[in-house]
Amino acid sequence: MGLHLPERLEVGCPKPLGAFSDGLGVNFAVFSANAAKIELCIFDSRGRVELARLPMPECTDEVWHGYLPDAGPGLLYGYRAYGPYDPKNGHRFNPHKLLIDPYARQLRGNVRWSDALFGYRVQHQKADLSMDRRDSAAWVPKCVVDQDEYNWGASRRPGTPWAQTYIYEAHVRGVSMRRSGVPSKALGTCQALAHPEFIDHLNKLGVTAIELMPLHAYLHDHFLVERGLRNYWGYNSLAYFAAEPAYLASGQPDELRRAIRRFHEAGIEVILDVVYNHTAEGNELGPTLSWRGLDNASYYRLIPGDERYYINDTGCGNTMNLSHPRVLQMVMDSLRYWAESFRVDGFRFDLGVTLGREGTGFDPGSGFFDALLQDPVLSRLKLISEPWDIGPDGYQLGNHPPGFAEWNDKFRDGVRQFWRGDAGLRSQLASCLLASPEMFDRRHRRPWASVNYLASHDGFTAWDVVSYNDKHNEANGDGNADGHSDNSSANWGVEGNTGDELVLELRERVLRAMLASTLLSNGTPMLLAGDEFANSQQGNNNAYCQDNELSWLDWEQAASARGREWTDFVARLHQLRRAHPSLHLARFEDADQDVVQGIKRVAWFDLDGEPMSEEAWGFAEGRVLGFRRAARVLPGRADLSLLLMNASADDIEFKLPAMACTWLCELDTADPGAAPATLSQPTVLVRGHSLLVLTSMVAEAANG
């Protein structure tokens, strides 16, 4: 039986924002400070026929609201907003454009590109100062009234402490498109994401958290569609409360909830990569899809004195105005929705500096940070920032408030450059291995605040770091002009794929040393999905638009003998990290402090076994370094670890530091299959481009 639509809406309530069913009807509420009128548009079950336009009968505190009796979950709707079309003064109202509810919890359909999506007449001589009167409804996804009734049973969040966290960055589609044993319809979706074999794989690696690239519904850019490409990464938000429809095989958000529940049951946390710094509407020449048409002057930061144009601190055409209380409320409501309705364990904030900007620039005490850190729900979750944007003073590594972790690109570059053999890198590597204390040892922050990674989605994969001197992004269609040109990489003799066994052996040795440096440093390690089995993107360091086998993980490769060897090696690194507290010191404390008598917390050694002097630190050609850490495990006893690193091409004899202990060589990255061996000589061979992991346990009496 069809829905009976009244001639007018009942008044309803201004809270909460969005569309909510109470069992007898649906209340609609949407913010707009500058609209003169807003209409609720109701569509048929397929979203093709607009059944009614019902004016919102009331506006309270700039929130337009109305109540539709006898409606319920599954209803399809959108909005039209009336007001001035005056771009020079920041207003872009156009009632001919159907608008997505910023609080929509589910979308039906996708954006289909048409000139009708634009609020202005495309190619008109006045550009965006003109006005387009074509109806856009046929080209816009419809909002769906959703109701969360998922039964979580006895499921609980794992609650992994930060100091024990190990992150695996992954793409929903990328890790599941080539998964065997999954129905074809489910490939690339949340249904395949939590496949038992994938969860077993993560558990083998020791991963404690999976960080998923954007799940919010997003837009495929027009220029990419014209090239036959797609916005694979998804950093182009279209709706902050709705999951990307393409990731839901069933079309229902509960599919994602089930995946999260399975991860939690396996002890794995779920962190969402979220994009609140900009939206898919782009600059003044972008489409009118939601926020722009509802209240452009409130939702976006506009250039003072010339409000036709957008402040573009993000490089994506626009910047969300989080200084506006309603915009900040929308972001906070979105975060709480994902935290409570989906039970996610944390968030990684894309271009986090943008979110911390006020009118005067970046501020660690900005409204966004303050609101987040005082929130009783969100402040308990893991919060990670990408600490840069392209705006003024946009690089803010280490300057976020306590409670945040930050992606540490200095770690990435330092580790790559040291193991490439660059000169003068020993002091920089030392800082990396200590979790960059010069950046993070302030305001009582801990080493976990430094998220250490060798590779991430943005840039080369770890295997490509040792296989390519230069980027190879021709498939993106920009003449290889996109992506960073400096990758701190080296091909070790041949650019790209090769059958040369000597080159391959050298690449593998260097990469093992890099991965060991990443997993065995202080701070929070992060692994890019696929790096555990030497996945390659053929030198593409900006694969944002490559929704194909270039980006999808090849699980047959992972299951090969070589893939298993790599995975076993990465798993072994984490086993070492977990077994030895000294391999990941959890606090910034005085390095010269004795853990037990005569043994300092941190010490550095040159190849002669002597402590590093100022002269040694300043010797640019030094490429060998010993790094010893000590952690108290019982009264009077300490766990010791010693990393011996040789980034030169030559094998060297490293003299062991003079200590009353017996060292066990637990790992040699030049010979990862070798069994642990007790060292009985005063020196040890460290092969070129390799790292040794030595461990010991000492008691107070042994050094008294």
Residue 228: exposed, middle, or buried by beta-carbon count in 10 A (0-12, 13-18, 19+)?
exposed
> What value, to the nearest 5°, has the Cα angle with vertex 352 and ends 166 and 219?
95
Work out the percent of the chain whose per-residue pLDDT is above 90: 96
Within a domain: 361: no
Q: Is the pLDDT of residue 387 over 60?
A: yes
Within a domain: 445: no
Within a domain: 651: yes
Q: Render pLDDT for 431-480 as a digit per residue (tens, 0 to 9).
A: 999 999 999 999 999 999 999 999 999 999 999 999 999 999 999 999 99
What mean pLDDT is predicted for residues 571-579?
A: 98
SS3 assignment, position 667: strand
Q: Is the pLDDT of residue 635 over 90?
A: no
4 pLDDT band (50/70/90 cuts)? confident
Domain of residue 680, CATH code: 2.60.40.1180
Q: Is the pLDDT of residue 261 over 70?
A: yes
Within a domain: 634: yes
Rounded-to-integer distance, Cα 464 and Cα 474, Å: 16
Q: Is the pLDDT of residue 1 over 60?
A: no
Rounded-to-integer distance, Cα 480 and Cα 540, Å: 9
What mean pLDDT is predicted for residues 64-80?
A: 98
Buried b (16+ CB within 10 A) or exposed e, 631-655: bbeeeeebbbbbbbbbbbeeebebb
Rounded-to-integer distance, Cα 81 and Cα 295, Å: 9
What mean pLDDT is predicted for residues 390-397?
A: 98
Within a domain: 378: no
45 pLDDT band (50/70/90 cuts)? very high
Q: Kind and range of the H or E element at 354? A: helix 352-355
Q: Render pLDDT for 209-237 as a digit per residue (tens, 0 to 9).
A: 999 999 999 999 999 999 999 999 999 99
Q: Is the pLDDT of residue 359 over 90?
A: no
pLDDT of residue 703: 44
Q: How far is CA 466 from CA 180, 511, 554, in A?
A: 29, 7, 19
Residue labelled with tokens 């980034």:
647
pLDDT of residue 2: 62
Work out the percent of the chain whose per-residue pLDDT is above 70: 99
Rounded-to-integer distance, Cα 377 and Cα 339, Å: 8
Q: Are 678 and 666 in contact (CB under 8 A)?
A: no
Q: Render pLDDT for 175-201 as a digit per residue (tens, 0 to 9).
A: 999 999 899 999 999 999 999 999 999
Within a domain: 46: no
Closest CA to 566 of 590, 530, 542, 594: 530
User: Active-site residue numbers?
Assistant: 350, 386
Q: Kind and range of the H or E element at 299? A: helix 291-299
Among 328-332, 482-486, 589-593, where is mean pLDDT lowest? 589-593
Q: In one letter, which amino acid is 19? A: A
pLDDT of residue 702: 44
Within a domain: 107: no
What is the domain range of residue 637? Answer: 591-699
**What are the structure tokens assigned to 171, written together?**
């793409």
Within a domain: 60: no
69 pLDDT band (50/70/90 cuts)? very high
What mean pLDDT is predicted for residues 345-368?
A: 96
pLDDT of residue 634: 83
Closest CA to 540 of 242, 310, 252, 233: 233
Domain count, the chain: 1
Rounded-to-integer distance, Cα 668 and Cα 686, Å: 8
